[in-house]
Amino acid sequence: MEIYNDPRCVDMSWNSFNKGDVFLLDLGKVIIQWNGPESNKTERIRACSLAQSIRDDERGGRAQIGIIDNEQDSPDLMQIMTAVLGPRHGELKDAIPDEKPDEQQKSNVRLYHVFEKDGDLVVQEIATKPLTQDLLQHQDCHILDQGGVKIFVWRGKDSSAEEKKAAFSRAVGFIQAKGYPATTNVEVVNDGAESATFKQLFQNWRDFGETQGLGKAYSLGKIAKVDQVKFDINQLYARPELAAEQRMVDDASGNVQVWRVENLELKEVDPKTYGRFYGGDCYLVLYTYVKSGKPNYLLYMWLGRHATQDEITACAFHAVELDRKYQDQPVQIRVTMGKEPKHFQAIFKGKMIIYEGGTSRTDKVQPEPPIRLFQVRGTDEYNTKATEVPARAASLNSNDVFVLKTDSVCYLWCGKGCSGDEREMAKTVANIISKQDKQTILEGQEPNEFWVALGGKSPYSSDKRFQEAVVQYKPRLFECSNQTGRFIMTEVVDFAQSDLDEDDIMLLDTWEEVSDMLCPQ
């Protein structure tokens, strides 16, 4: 199978290969991805995604996927390909422009409608590329001809036995009638159980029950019986999983390397800017530490809230490549923006700053906003991070320190409930955020210019409890759900307002008051 703009099946021969495309060799238990030396990252990512789909959907997850980036570095996989395709003679063909295969494929791929009319069987051509899923009619059968490379027979779930039998016979007849090679493969595809190779020939294929955006998918038929277990609320305070989550593998003094996904490629980040993360980007952070005389690796994938789906997919793809480079030793950890684990924060020694949007690339399209507000939380270099919040007075909180950056001055706003350690860590962060003069102001003693920068004075979280410097207990958020068939409560760690799920009941325990949020439905 060849991958470029749209995957397609090709002759299983070295003559089908070229330098500019990606090819998948499907051997059942083994799927080999061969990356042309001039292929682009998008093609490689799409090929990897298709290989995973074939493995998971058609092979029950049991097939092994091998990737060849450089033939000299993958002698075992090349030996398998040579055994299947035979020895390769001569040089590979040059890269083919993407437009040329597109035109060729559009003319070769044809969809036929097989149906009964007045007692006779009719085979009628109805479409060429691009194909859409709504062309397939459940009460009939269809033949999809790939120009002799492969022929699919799609059998609608409501079609008659005569139509199914006749459709297969006509597909086999195509081989002789159109002069196709006798080895042309005919694959029968059942309605609702389409293979990945069939689905990729259609634009925007969606499986039955697949959700779109925030839509819902409902299960039909009988639901397996679930044994009901009495809910024990005391288990909420045992928290063994939380204790495990907060454990750190070391003191975060190991070696750190950071890359950013830029144009679907990995670009190394300047060590001087380590710890600065932008919501429009994705990052890979490789942490190396020594244990028992051996190097160990943690590979963090930090995903910005505003990163595109292509960037997120590329980040995962590069993580796999980096994992292979270190002989599959790194432990991969997916980190979503705002949910950074304790060890991840400790790596950057109290200098971690999360910008809500934008990018750290040099070719920025949008200029930085002149006024930015950051909430600083943490008391030492192991647990401190600054998070950008909307630059308005309502974002303030009496229990924390905030850094307000303007074109002329940088304010350190200290809430009545913040501690001395928090103020010291905020000063460190402020020196990174702004090179302007720093002005420390206490809550209640703000100059007029401060409120003007925030768009005017307005109410914020300043309850008496927020003004206490030492809070004995931290608020906790729980999600109540019965999706598994039994009632459970799951704690949401390091929560924010965006964690509130409208489809469930959320319980917020502030130790002084318990609030619940009921879904509008």
CATH number, position 512: 3.40.20.10
Task: Single out the residue in 364, 396, 415 at which a domain terminates.
Answer: 364
The stretch 310-322 carries a mean pLDDT of 91
Same domain, residue pair 339 and 257: yes
Domain hosting 493: range is 476-517
Same domain, residue pair 337 and 254: yes
Residue 217 lies in a domain: no
Residue 225 lies in a domain: no
pLDDT band at residue 413 under the 50/70/90 scheme: very high
**What pLDDT is stored for residue 214 in this prediction?**
46
pLDDT band at residue 242 under the 50/70/90 scheme: very low
**What pLDDT is stored for residue 56 in this prediction?**
82
The stretch 166-173 carries a mean pLDDT of 89
Average pLDDT over the chain, rounded to an integer = 83
Token reading at 441: 């102001």
pLDDT band at residue 465 under the 50/70/90 scheme: low
pTM of the entire structure? 0.51
Same domain, residue pair 32 and 107: no
Same domain, residue pair 448 and 493: no
**What pLDDT is stored for residue 480 in this prediction?**
82
Residue 123 lies in a domain: yes
Same domain, residue pair 255 and 349: yes
Residue 307 lies in a domain: yes
At residue 117, φ and ψ (nearest 5 deg) are -145, 115
Residue 223 lies in a domain: no
pLDDT above 70: residue 104: no
Same domain, residue pair 391 and 351: no
Q: How many angstroms separate the Cα of 38 from the Cα of each of 42, 70, 87, 95, 326?
A: 12, 11, 22, 7, 24
Which residues in 247-280 are b (16+ Cβ under 10 Å) and which e?
A: eeeeebebebebbbbbebebeebeeeebbbbbbb
- The domain total for the chain is 5
**What pLDDT is stored for residue 3 in this prediction?**
61
Same domain, residue pair 346 and 374: no
Chain segment 399-412, per-residue pLDDT in tens: 899 999 999 999 99
Residue 35 lies in a domain: yes
Residue 221 lies in a domain: no
Task: Single out the residue in 171, 203, 235 at which a domain terminates.
Answer: 203
